[in-house]
Amino acid sequence: MGFEVTRIGTAMGNAYLIKGNHIALVDTRAPFGRHLLLKGLEKADVGIGDIEYILITHSHMDHAGNAAMIKELSGAQVIAGAPDVPCIEGREDRWKSGVSKSAQVLDKLPGAVLEMYMKFKPFTVDRTVSDGDVIEELGLQVVATPGHTDGGVTYWDREGGRAFIGDMMSYIMHRPGMPSLAASQSLEEIFASQEKLASLGLDTAYPGHGEIIRPDASAIIADYSAKMSRKYTCA
């Protein structure tokens, strides 16, 4: 199923507009990025009311921050990975201890401070998805990619050789980068998820931060993941 993709964002965070038989938004940027999001939609000649689906790659503020607003104004159906839904809906704390040394420092801060950093208006997820599920309306397959969050997912356009990968790898200034480990749950799962993305034969990957990864996105992800896996194994 063919569709056009428009990146709306900067190195600080991306949302992606899908325009085809249906109009969808993959991630929604942070609340403070609302103006740029709305400006990007306007430039693409899409009103909020036109959005039919909101696809969330994971539950962090800089990806789910404006979803409540868009859902309220459009009636769009929200789709997200099942394990992340309690955080999205505000039923669990959004800050969870990360795997880096800086996370140990952050853990010593008052919980209210960390929750304020991760704060966004909660909203109801209409459809929970798991590995292998297919979103027929958009022609996308769900690939579970945990590690950064427990319920992180990738939305894979198998036919088009492209995928929306959330924070599984950044590409700021065309340089690969790891997810923020201060807010990641498992290094082992991150590397396993990256290996899974590398196996998909992607030509194009749409990351949550940075530029679009292309061409040979899977090869770029594979090379970087192998390099970082060796680094952390030897550390």
The model's pLDDT over 154-207, given as tens digits with 9 standing for 90+, comes to 999 999 999 999 999 999 999 999 998 888 889 999 999 999 999 999 999 999
- Residue ranges in 119-216 assigned as alpha helix (H): 187-198
pTM recorded for the entire structure: 0.94
Residue 89: which domain range? 4-234
Domain CATH for 193: 3.60.15.10
Distances (CA, A) of 59 to 5, 49, 81, 114: 22, 23, 9, 15
The model's pLDDT over 29-61, given as tens digits with 9 standing for 90+, comes to 999 889 999 999 999 999 999 999 999 999 999
Q: How many independent structural domains does the chain possess?
A: 1
Structure confidence at residue 34 (pLDDT): 92
The model's pLDDT over 70-121, given as tens digits with 9 standing for 90+, comes to 999 999 999 999 999 999 999 887 666 666 566 565 566 566 555 656 789 9
**Quick one: which of 171, 210, 169 has its CA closest to 11?**
210
Give the pLDDT mean for 130-141.
Answer: 97
Structure confidence at residue 109 (pLDDT): 57
